[in-house]
Chains A and B, each alone.
Chain A
Amino acid sequence: MAGLTRTAGAFTVTPHKISVCILLQLYAPSAQMSLPFPFSSVSQHNRLGLYLLSLTKSCDDIFEPKLEDLLNQLREVGEDMDAWLTDHLTNRFSSLTSPDDLLNFFNDMRGILGSVDSGAAQDDQIILDPSSNLGMFVRRCILAFNLLSFEGVCHLFTSIEVYCREAHSSSAQYDASNDNLESLIQHDQMDMEKYIMDKATEEIELQKNASGSVPFHLHTPEALFKVTEGLLVTRKEKSRTNMKKTEATPLACASSSTADDTLVDESLFLRTNYQIQGCLMEQADAIETHGSSLSSSSIESFLQKLQNLAPELHRVHFLRYLNKLHSDDYFAALDNLLRYFDYSAGTEGFDLVPPSAGCSMYGRYEIALLCLGMMHFRFGHPNLALEVLTEAVRVSQQLSNDTCLAYTLAAMSNLLSEMGIASTTSVLGSSYSPGTSTASSLSVQQRVYILLKESLRRADSLKLRRLVASNHLAMAKFELMHVQRPLLSFGPKASMRHKTCPVSVCKEIRLGAHLISDFSAESSTMTIDGSLSSAWLKDLQKPWGQPVFSQESGSRKSSTFFQFCDHLVSIPGSVSQIIGASYLLRATSWELYGSAPMARMNTLVYATLFGDSSSSSDAELAYLKLIQHLALYKGYKDAFAALKIAEEKFLTVSKSKVLLLKLQLLHEHALHRGNLKLAQRMCNELGGLASTTMGVDMELKVEASLREARTLLAAKQYSQAANVAHSLFCTCHKFNLQIEKASVLLLLAEIHKKSGNAVLGLPYALASISFCQSFNLDLLKASATLTLAELWLGLGSNHAKRALDLLHGAFPMILGHGGLELRARAYIFEANCYLSDPSFSVSTDSDTVLDSLRQASDELQALEYHELAAEALYLMAMVYDKLGRLEEREEAAALFKKHITALENPQHEEPNMA
């Protein structure tokens, strides 16, 4: 802690800065320097100036480029005069043979600065304005150098040697024939130093002999440099820029490039706090964005290095905790979290939270509790997490740290809502009661609601914008899933009054997304120097580097554009993450409300705009949503193709849901094609997923048994299917999963319909409809209405009229938003209704029936839903028969036969997807 404040903002001279100074000398040669002016055109000169500007801007970056990188960049900038530039740079370095040379060098540097009163300068001389960006940089360098003690100068001198040597050795790696250099590689640092020293003394002797006329030339022949460089550069540059790409492959590259940066970089220069914090911030973002696909060991080695350099920088421990968290290493994560808070008392690194009075004395250990709670939550220890969070609430109340309290409450509500009521009641017995004292008697839902409200209120008054936004989103989620009033008298009778309110969901989401306008309005204090300045250089480099990797520019465009915008308006990643989450939530809510295009659009918006800045699990979710959409509306072929891509991209994400979706799709596919064995197997695998050791996931469990019931239904084992569905309904009721209840009821109705027991099915269908109404699940309601109509028809053909009316009421919804299967079912059912209606004559009105049947059979082809397709075709053939169109009848019949045989021999077409 103490170390942090000591020399914050210090500016130290490093070899890289000296290179920049040398280049500056070239850019604006002083009057007494006898260098030739090498620039052939003004634009060339300006180009160098622009490059230097970006270099000085980025010199606050934590990683300084190595000499080699700098030379490469120079080559790109310098065009035809590159050799001259690089030559000069390397020669200048090699002429620094003693600390005295350094002293002289900085004395010379003064010459390129114009003094305030130097009006007498010649016209053709370029003079740096001391208060310009470049001039400022030079002045800072000179000042920093003058402040150095002799020891400091010596250290600088040695680091320059290392700096130059690295460039040689790395270029030498590619040249095995050169004995001299090869031996260099084998030897280690120590030896190299000696070697250089020897060379230096040799050179001094030489100079003595030749009375200074022999310039000391770098020991690497220039030609060699050039040959090897070409290969090396492209590879490196590529991997570095790849980091920004959206596609699946570069993830590995990105990690390797960080490894490059850190592992190879022997002299990682350590600078001011700001830079380090910024760098750490970047790393943290990287850990979150890439999840466990980022190799944890490369980060680990980077952190190790950083820790060696700055043992008092405790933030490293936090980063390590994050890293371990994402690689699911419980013990190491716990250990590092505790270590971080023990050292820093929570006061280092959380600069974003405004310091409240008195916190310095006690530290901010409540934040430790908050983090610990969230960690336990992530590792699937909800009870422990709740204990810890309760303590966090207590401590932050005690220390009146409202900020932390607001966050803790939000975390708690999140925990409770994710966990369901499965295990909480006993734990919560003695714990927190916000505001009211009756908390212990409340249901978990109500408690979640109260916690959210409290958190939101505090966050609002404290102006914690991001928390406010995410609380709004959580609220939206809550409103989406829960009816406000107690759910005691829930049922068909009372249902009309208790409804979820889509308007408020919408309002909450909109409020959540307001965040972005807040951030672009205020001048942001949130960006961290380091990341910004490094971004500067990267962006500036782009146009020059373009030809090298033009082949991949197309795919990168959108993301880089937004990254660029990011830097311009400086929206922190976390903000764009929340905004992204709001789009995801929007998509989900539309999915539930039953508007497929809206859901799809929102997901697409998310995937294109926020895919880069989001955490990998969110991005995965978006992809999965899109795939699901594909499966429902375009058929399986496309869906499986998309799934393959997603699999490659997200398989490394911890708790990946890709596998789940794959099983779901395969199951669905198998059911449609009538391959019940495969369906059963998929079902079992789903059940296996549901009983993981990572804590019980209720959703997964419900999904598994729902599918089991459907498989049984398809196998015509009605009573068993009904049993499963019944117990599932009980589970849903117990855990208050209202939306799932609606679909289970529908399934029950379906089972009774299939078993020919229409009377029994009716109440289920009606109950399902009323559930759907109260939760505004329009699409589900439409499909329940369809089932209801089917049930009516099942009661006898005299109900055909009523059934048709029902169907027509639901038609707009079904045709507008329903998936292929639902639509086809509706069409077929419509035809069925007409045909069974005694007042309907086929011969006069055949087109109404035939049209829908044709439509249905087309859509079912895409789904490979043999059973329904056969039915449609059968009806078609019958109609044709009635009409006497024999040829068409035969055609339909043949197709019918094909489907029937396919249904009967499901194994025949091999299931290549599994």
Chain B
Amino acid sequence: MVSKESCRNEIRAAIRQLSDRCLYSAAKWAGEQLVGIEQDSSNFTPSNTRFQRGSPSIRRRFSTNESISTPQPSVGFSQPPATPLPQEDDVIDGDLYLLAKSYFDCREYRRASHVLRDQMSKKSVFLRCYALYLAGEKRKEEEMVELEGPLGKSDAINRELVSLERELSALKRTGAIDSFGLYLYGVVLKEKGNESLARASLVESVNSYPWNWSAWSELQSLCTSIEILNSLNLNNHWMKEFFLGSAYQELRMHSESLAKYEYLQGIFSFSNYIQAQTAKAQYSLREFDQVEIMFEDLLRNDPYRVEDMDLYSNVLYAKEACAALSYLAHKVFLTDKYRPESCCIVGNYYSLKGQHEKAVMYFRRALKLNKKYLSAWTLMGHEYVEMKNTSAAIDAYRRAVDVNPCDYRAWYGLGQAYEMMGMPFYALHYFRKSIFFLPNDSRLWIAMAKCYQSEQLHMLEEAIKCYKRAVNCGDTEGIALNQLAKLHQKLGRNEEAAFYFEKDLERMDAEGLEGPNMFEALVFLATHLKTNKKFDEAEVYCTRLLDYSGPEKEKAKSLLRGIRMAQTGFPSMDMEHFPL
């Protein structure tokens, strides 16, 4: 385990270096982690306490403090060779650099790069290239609007990429490039579509300077499969754990990711970032109650946070907490209304209220702000499904899938939409796709089984197979067992049917449920056992039925009569029952 103090020192220096190079979001991230490290009590200054005053987590903080204060057993994590912090060439920075940086801060990127045109220090070169890159990006965005053709033409490209690539590759060849330059080189290569080279460059960058979170997240976006991730040759550093956590999450390996974050919480016990990421993972595991608590806590510590709040709104939506959702939407809107997340939250709110047109409008706005905002596409698809506009829904889902082909929700939505249109066979393909990405979700299997079961297809054997898979995946809603029993009954396989009815009964007993399914199971089991001459067991089920009122009671009575008759009516056959 690395010591907190060393972490703290590393981050402090890194923040300074990052913001000196105008890598602001990386600096921001590092700053969040810096405050996330639990403080030494000796270091407490009034300003520190002010930051934590009124927060309920203070109590938690002090209570955990005691438990952690004992030296932790290091869990197989060897102390990495400390990466030395690069020495700054501050002194020779010069006035021009200062001027360029202030231009940069005022978002006059081209001006900034022009100021640095003849500067040869690595730092200046980086800032010049970075400013040029951003200028190109800005121009690209503008051109995208200007050039928009009838068919969504968007051939706007960052016109600086070519020259940047040339310059950076030349620098790399001569070795006159630092880790920040490597990061920029990686970004440029990625934009140009050269993914493997981009990965190599980014790996080199994070190995030499691990504190640049932007580099890590670029690298993460290039790791689209676990094989790629495992093939990366990364030095051990605590930043790598952050990286792995987020990469695992993207690859839907939620428990692995949770383990990483749990480990990191040993040092960064108060990091909002880690808390949000943990909540995300828990959300994927459908632990909604836990996620809600985490987000509430997060919002108390950081009330103006917008990131990840769309996830929170999803949780609130799932729990149908209208008031809380509207409160969240209001707050977020006051903070920053032009964030895709904010629009998404409002969309969720309207959707919950059943005002689907408005919801669609807000999702659209979110998409206008960010065309590749995956969840907005999917949610919009859901809205269109609600509005019975299937073709629009299909379009939206398809876009989601094309943004990220691993989005099982959108695949599922596509399947659902086609099923709604009476094309179950066509829908099967999509269900298959969604199951491919999430094979352990019983809901998907049940949806597929229903498709097979539909009257148009009537492929019952296949439906049975799907339900069996659903049962194996731990079907929480108990649909699968009941359906399995019914299907077997329909196909005249009474033994199998009895088996599944019994199982279903056990499940309902365990969960304390009652209802028509229960009656059905009891009636079937009683009749089945009676015909198989297992009168004692049949009687047990009949007596259970007698507890309820309604037609089932009458049925049970007649069954019981039948059993008595069978037992007494044929004494010659059942002599042993009457030991006279």
Contact = CB atoms under 8 A, between A and B. Distances in A.
Interface of A: 1, 3-4, 6-8, 10, 149, 151-152, 155, 188-191, 193, 270, 272-273, 276, 308-313, 334, 338-339, 342-343, 345, 361-363, 365, 368-369, 372, 387-388, 391, 394-395, 398, 430
Given A342-B398, A394-B422, 6 more contacts: A7-B149, A191-B163, A365-B418, A388-B426, A391-B426, A430-B458
A4 B143 CA distance: 21
B151 A343 contact: no
Contacts of B147: 155
A342 B5 CA distance: 55
B418 A270 contact: no
Interface in B394-434: 394-395, 397-398, 402, 414, 418, 421-426, 429
A152 to B, nearest CB: 7
B572 to A, nearest CB: 47
A630 B390 CA distance: 58
B426 A369 contact: yes
B398 A343 contact: yes
A365 B429 CA distance: 14
B153 A310 contact: yes
Contacts of B166: 188
A365 B150 contact: no
Contact of B151 (A3, A151, A152, A394): A3
A398 B152 contact: no
Given A189-B162, A190-B159, A368-B426, A4 B391 contact: no
B391 A361 contact: yes
Contact of B162 (A151, A188, A309, A312): A188
Contact of A395 (B151, B389, B398, B423): B423
14 contacts: A1-B395, A152-B146, A155-B147, A193-B159, A308-B155, A309-B153, A311-B153, A338-B429, A342-B414, A361-B391, A362-B391, A363-B394, A388-B426, A395-B422
A706 B283 CA distance: 67
In the A-B complex, the 4 residue pairs with the closest CB atoms? A310-B151, A312-B152, A342-B398, A363-B391
Given A190-B160, A362-B390, A391-B425, A3 B150 contact: yes
A270 B163 contact: no
A273 B395 CA distance: 20
B290 interface: no
A410 to B, nearest CB: 20
A356 to B, nearest CB: 15
Contacts of B152: 3, 310-312
A387 B421 contact: no
B113 to A, nearest CB: 14
Given A388-B426, A391-B424, A311 B394 contact: no
A363 B152 CA distance: 21
A6 to B, nearest CB: 5
Contact of A7 (B150, B155, B162): B150
A151 B395 CA distance: 32
A391 B456 contact: yes
B121 interface: no
Contacts of B159: 189-190, 193
Interface in B148-197: 149-155, 159-160, 162-163, 166
A372 B151 contact: no
A106 to B, nearest CB: 20
Contacts of B151: 3-4, 270, 273, 276, 309-313
Contacts of B398: 339, 342-343
Contacts of B153: 270, 309-311
B394 A394 contact: no
A310 B153 CA distance: 4
A330 to B, nearest CB: 13
Nearest to B165: A188
A395 B150 CA distance: 32
Given A7-B150, A310-B153, A339-B402, A362 B162 contact: no
Given A345-B394, A363-B391, A273 B422 contact: no
A365 B426 contact: yes
Contacts of A308: 154-155
Contacts of A276: 151
Given A362-B391, A363-B391, A342 B426 contact: no
Q: Output the residue of A8, A10, A155, A395 with the most chain B CB within 10 A.
A: A395
A349 to B, nearest CB: 13
Contacts of B402: 339
Nearest to A313: B151
Contact of B150 (A149, A273, A345, A430): A273
Contacts of A189: 159, 162
A17 B547 CA distance: 89
Nearest to A151: B146
A64 to B, nearest CB: 15
Given A339-B398, A343-B395, A388 B425 contact: yes
A313 B426 CA distance: 23
Nearest to B428: A387
Contacts of A3: 150-152
A698 to B, nearest CB: 27
Nearest to A9: B150
Contacts of B423: 365, 369, 391, 395
B397 A342 contact: yes
B357 to A, nearest CB: 16
A218 B391 CA distance: 54
Nearest to A189: B162
Given A363-B391, A365-B421, A372-B426, A311 B154 contact: yes
A369 B154 CA distance: 32
Contact of A309 (B143, B155, B389, B421): B155
A372 B430 CA distance: 14
Contact of A387 (B143, B397, B418, B425): B425
Interface string B3-41: 000000000000000000000000000000000000000
B150 A10 contact: yes
A345 B426 contact: no
